[in-house]
Structure 1
């Protein structure tokens, strides 16, 4: 036990978690992780003779019946340890409805608001109890949903005023510490249910990998995440230099090409610069996707006047010596221009999950009994939970169904881009979409009007031409996404 505690202490010092810290606010649920965190931090402060206040904050989300018992357990623990205790009651479900987000996300948002309030405007830190297993779960979840290098890096030991001392140890080591102290803790029964993605990773996937692939799975994933965080930090430092050299901020953002200099940067650095330029205008990372960054990056090699519509109504235009990103262009719908791309937003996803349909208007290439034409249509997306094996889901030339949980990232509706590929068999072999168009005799002047349903991994369906062999429905399917092309209703 002492070796584990010493390892946590070293991790605290290596990451300067409590340097010049006047107050530590510990999120205390009463579970094993948070109880261990509280005890370890109290021990560290006492051993190092720090003049640091320790405060435990318990947030009752108003969801579970036994939440009151958890609160009393946490209160009694703090009284015994001589630690300041604060309890808050929130209506997580009500907040979720009010804010238009999941109950889990609304609860997390409110918890951190409360934690920051408890910091009392002093040089304080918020300590939360994520450990190595949480890190492994986060990395795997991000990978499966589609992510960047930053996402693969997982949870940071220190972010802003938040510290995570237990990232240095596994869940098993946490329990060993508590056993050594003969310290009980409460168990949240919802953590044992596999209805949630993270719980399935925690209770099924990671134990399987540990038992059948490598007994150090958790430690290895956590170690890789730590290295990737360092790699990302290096890339960010190089992107800083490039951003300061090539980007001018103002009402618009100007990316100076400096002849071939900007194009000569490594594409990883170039795209980080572009991402930051877009972020500067939007002030949010939400809904800035790889497809948007790539579309701007493609302008580097295009002719003057070329443009790309991206997120939040922004448009990037290639000029003689630079690329200008601004919101000055009139929207596509107002100009009745062809769709560049439509990435489903968080609001769209929530509508689908609530059983509502999402409809997009567009003109598309349409093969009507070998009569080729442009047609005004509406693209209707709907999500069906609890897959029924014998139900007839959409499957025609202009209607397809996909296993929603196999889709990488958020679905996207767009037209073709250079390099697009489509999976042509169950073995995962791919071919260029351009070659598919040629083989299926799609006229060259119509190819830019073929509608594509895509995700972060590529093309799922070239409407009226071919669907990918990815994201197919099978006996393990739980959620089905249907995409149907209908005649536009005026």
Structure 2
């Protein structure tokens, strides 16, 4: 299997000699096999390897999984980085499934750590069976060609070297090399859709229709990837010819757009919606509504979509705008200790000073190192050009990018409270404390901020 994976890595131009690779390692057989293979590959090509493990805090065995990864990396002399996240709390707060929240937390951790380490690539252990499950999942949702392409071997920094092998190949490799691994019992929980596809649908399709269904679905994904790439290339060529930004609005030449094939129309409309809203999860229904607007006779027609996006047909233009005028803008000075009432949100914030040795974590509170904060402090909404320093991130990240990574809808972003002093953001309330304000072992005084809704406002 090692030679098969190495040939695939070379065919897909995944790794150059001396590549610096961060491997996502859950502790399961797939990721342990990937780590073992890439260790050999990096030794042969002068590369650098790190391992990253995210503890999801979902299972009683999660700590054991983390310890197995740590111990194995220590024996194999691979630097290992771990992080613990309460994925269930993230899922509840963002109203997403555990699967979605866990995936997003993992990739955010991997991206931030890769940036900090200067990694060229992030490697994950997805294989052909995972690919088959992904294609079926998208098919059942009625996805188009973008969904049917499944997971790409290379996507930006992300690489998937095991997409050339099956789960059975990996199990044999793990046995042959006597690699340690842990079992994730949630993989057998039928509450998760992907598990039902793996445990029930694929075996049924293998028995009743095609014993090589995994191979067939991987072939479908490869075809869809080729055709999707062709559509993207066509859209890239047409985009500068029919799009322009005018005073903060995005305009498409309606006449030229109308002449394009339906599939290319949809691809260009999707690009316009993403550019305006910074959200990528637009549905086919949204695209069809815009295409219907495009085909209607007349002018001064308006279509209202989600995330406060409006599409207007004005003479020979499709005009895309995002209306955020109803979002509150505020800035309140902070006295410590003290109280702040944000009228626009109907929220009270209490600020107290607690000696570090007396502090205990509590719900609906955040804790910051008071002596590391500049003054004057304020609680405010976001401002144009805001940047922050997340924990573990090298340098500054735009607040807009952080909100996008957290999948916070654009219409909600002005309602998120920031603790700041000048241009330095110390906390994104309800989400995180930034690197300059995080509590450490040397912290002496802790600023504790508690949020609660105003009874009259609710």
* 3-state SS in 2 of match to 1:165: coil
- Over 3 Å counting, the alpha-carbon distance change for 1:57 and 1:145 in structure 2 is same
**Counterpart position of 2:137:** 141
Q: Aligned equivalents of 2:168 and 2:154: distance in 1? A: 22
* 3-state SS in 1 of match to 2:134: helix
User: Is the contact between residue 278 and residue 325 of structure 1 (CA under 8 Å) also seen in structure 2?
Assistant: yes
**Counterpart position of 2:284:** 290
1:96 Cα deviation from its structure 2 partner: 2.6
Match runs of 1:267-278 below 5 Å: 267-278=262-273
**Counterpart position of 2:38:** 41
1:100 Cα deviation from its structure 2 partner: 3.5
| Match among 83, 88, 95 for residue 90 of structure 2 | 95
| Match among 217, 229, 245 for residue 249 of structure 1 | 245
- Over 3 Å counting, the alpha-carbon distance change for 1:113 and 1:295 in structure 2 is closer
**Residue 64 (str. 1) matches residue 47 (str. 2):** no
1:327 Cα deviation from its structure 2 partner: 4.2
**Counterpart position of 1:231:** 227
Query: TM-score under structure 1 normalisation?
Result: 0.62
1:230 Cα deviation from its structure 2 partner: 1.1
Q: Aligned equivalents of 2:81 and 2:104: distance in 1? A: 18
| Match among 5, 12, 17 for residue 15 of structure 1 | 12
| Match among 205, 213, 220 for residue 217 of structure 1 | 213
User: Is the contact between residue 242 and residue 269 of structure 1 (CA under 8 Å) also seen in structure 2?
Assistant: no
- 1:285-327 Cα distance to aligned partner (Å, 9 max, x none): 13x2222222222233322223333333333333332222334
1:195 Cα deviation from its structure 2 partner: 2.2
- Over 3 Å counting, the alpha-carbon distance change for 1:195 and 1:310 in structure 2 is closer
User: How large is the Cα RMSD of the aligned pairs?
Assistant: 2.2
Displacement over 6 Å in runs of 4+: 328-331
Q: Aligned equivalents of 1:302 and 1:191: distance in 2? A: 49
* 3-state SS in 1 of match to 2:226: helix
1:34 Cα deviation from its structure 2 partner: 0.5
User: Is the contact between residue 282 and residue 312 of structure 1 (CA under 8 Å) also seen in structure 2?
Assistant: yes
**Counterpart position of 1:165:** 161
| Match among 22, 25, 40 for residue 22 of structure 2 | 25
| Match among 38, 42, 46 for residue 51 of structure 1 | 46
Q: Aligned equivalents of 1:21 and 1:95: distance in 2? A: 37
Match runs of 1:156-195 below 5 Å: 156-195=152-191
**Counterpart position of 2:79:** 84
Query: TM-score under structure 2 normalisation?
Result: 0.66
1:249 Cα deviation from its structure 2 partner: 2.2
User: Is the contact between residue 137 and residue 198 of structure 1 (CA under 8 Å) also seen in structure 2?
Assistant: yes
Q: Aligned equivalents of 2:324 and 2:29: distance in 1? A: 54
- Over 3 Å counting, the alpha-carbon distance change for 1:330 and 1:127 in structure 2 is closer
Q: Aligned equivalents of 2:310 and 2:58: distance in 1? A: 44
Number of corresponding residues: 323
In structure 1, runs of 5+ residues without a counterpart are: 332-490
- Over 3 Å counting, the alpha-carbon distance change for 1:87 and 1:200 in structure 2 is same
Q: Aligned equivalents of 1:135 and 1:60: distance in 2? A: 24
- 1:45-103 Cα distance to aligned partner (Å, 9 max, x none): 22xx3222111122222221122222222222222222222232222223333334333
**Counterpart position of 1:307:** 302
1:282 Cα deviation from its structure 2 partner: 0.7
Q: Aligned equivalents of 1:243 and 1:268: distance in 2? A: 14
- Over 3 Å counting, the alpha-carbon distance change for 1:12 and 1:291 in structure 2 is same
**Residue 323 (str. 1) matches residue 318 (str. 2):** yes
Higher relative contact order, structure no. (Cα contacts within 8 Å, ≥ 6 residues apart): 2
User: Is the contact between residue 310 and residue 320 of structure 2 (CA under 8 Å) also seen in structure 1?
Assistant: yes
In structure 2, runs of 5+ residues without a counterpart are: 327-458
- Over 3 Å counting, the alpha-carbon distance change for 1:330 and 1:34 in structure 2 is closer
- Over 3 Å counting, the alpha-carbon distance change for 1:311 and 1:34 in structure 2 is same
User: Is the contact between residue 20 and residue 47 of structure 2 (CA under 8 Å) also seen in structure 1?
Assistant: yes
User: Is the contact between residue 22 and residue 122 of structure 1 (CA under 8 Å) also seen in structure 2?
Assistant: no
- Over 3 Å counting, the alpha-carbon distance change for 1:15 and 1:21 in structure 2 is farther
User: Is the contact between residue 315 and residue 329 of structure 1 (CA under 8 Å) also seen in structure 2?
Assistant: no
1:127 Cα deviation from its structure 2 partner: 0.9
- Over 3 Å counting, the alpha-carbon distance change for 1:110 and 1:21 in structure 2 is farther
Q: Aligned equivalents of 1:28 and 1:123: distance in 2? A: 15
Q: Aligned equivalents of 2:45 and 2:40: distance in 1? A: 11
**Counterpart position of 1:363:** none
Structure index of larger Rg: 1
